[in-house]
Amino acid sequence: MQPQACNVIGYPDGLASPVQATVQSAWYTSGHQLKFMCDGYPDGTSGSPWIINGDAACGLIGGYQQGGATPSVSYSPYFSVNVSNLYSTADEAFL
């Protein structure tokens, strides 16, 4: 999947409710890693999905201290077609 708008929902440590935003993803390293810029995704949100079209994962949050120079940028490995197909197959198995 190419960089695109996605909905990111995370569950931060110490908060009673999730944080959520619609963000525009972009290449961090073309063909390998994506990023988005948005404050408000602190510790505990790593691993949260980047959702497109309401039902498909296009990435997952990787955080600041193990993944970048600033807390306002989050990263994800690039989800190729194979990863997207695997996610869809697993999702359908639980419907």
Inform me whether the pLDDT recorded for 50 exceeds 80.
Answer: yes
The domain defined by 5-93 carries CATH number 2.40.10.10:
yes
**What are the residue ranges spanned by the domains of the chain?**
5-93
**pTM for this prediction:** 0.76
pLDDT tens readout for residues 1-39: 678 899 998 888 888 889 999 999 999 889 888 899 988
pLDDT of residue 68: 67
pLDDT tens readout for residues 66-92: 666 777 888 888 888 787 778 778 878
CA distances from 25 to 17, 40, 46, 58, 80 (A): 24, 16, 16, 10, 15
